[in-house]
A and B are shown apart, each in its own frame.
Chain A
Amino acid sequence: QQPVQSPQAVILREGEDAVINCSSSKALYSVHWYRQKHGEAPVFLMILLKGGEQKGHEKISASFNEKKQQSSLYLTASQLSYSGTYFCGTGAHGSGNTGKLIFGQGTTLQVKP
């Protein structure tokens, strides 16, 4: 089942912070975050795994609450380059499911000068 992202859209001024949430009705094994700019491919931001392991870019932070089946992406001191659509994708357990992600509907973030 598709995870639900909130909010659907955010408008920020440079330097402001934002939080994007991703909730699932199913138990989560892994949560992936990607950013897609208009006309471009989605770009990896972060993976959070059950058990606490995280892999991602230094300037991006995220949390993974296994009990609540929820992940949040934290964007601090936003820059114009942060603009784009953010997707969370949930992954199933096992190395055999690496490429199969169920993506949320996306959150559009616009950062203004």
Chain B
Amino acid sequence: KAGVTQTPRYLIKTRGQQVTLSCSPISGHRSVSWYQQTPGQGLQFLFEYFSETQRNKGNFPGRFSGRQFSNSRSEMNVSTLELGDSALYLCASSAGVSGELFFGEGSRLTVL
């Protein structure tokens, strides 16, 4: 069974640009969550999508957005990038009932 796949794995952007990250969940998983991981703040919840609907949102500015498609694949977008957005962005999928999260290896974003 294929795991959670995130693309791209690494990317470098400059301040003011925007970025789109992609996540393909485990087949059959309808819940996709996004987390930001930084050395200072740790793992912080961004948002969760289930059946194409955002059902939870963390405490991040509106520059952070996401969506989920009918095949459960998800994208997150960060607009007007700031230096502080440099982080590892992790996607996790879940079958729902068990609660266990399966994480992808992440997309490492560097903002210069």
Contacts and interface: CB of A to CB of B under 8 A. Distances in A.
B84 interface: no
Q: From DSSP, what is the main secondary structure of chain B's interface residues?
A: strand
Contacts of B98: 47, 55
Contacts of A55: 98-100
A81 interface: no
Interface string A85-113: 00101010001111111111110000000
Interface stretch (A14-22, A38-46, A61-69, A70-78): A38-46
A95 B94 contact: no
Interface stretch (B11-19, B41-49, B75-83): B41-49
What is the interface residue range for chain B against chain A?
A: 20 to 34
Contacts of A106: 42-43
Contacts of B56: 96-97, 99-100
A102 B44 CA distance: 7
Given A40-B105, A98-B31, A103 B43 contact: yes
Nearest to A101: B45
A18 B104 CA distance: 28
A100 B99 CA distance: 10
The winner among A41, A101, A103, A106 for most chain B CB atoms within 10 A is A41
Contact of A44 (B45, B90, B100): B100
13 contacts: A30-B99, A32-B99, A42-B90, A44-B100, A47-B99, A87-B43, A97-B56, A98-B50, A99-B31, A99-B92, A99-B94, A100-B33, A101-B33
9 nearest A-B pairs in the assembled complex, by CB-CB distance: A99-B33, A99-B48, A103-B43, A41-B103, A100-B56, A41-B105, A99-B31, A42-B103, A44-B100
Interface of A: 2, 30, 32, 34, 40-44, 47, 49, 55, 87, 89, 91, 95-106
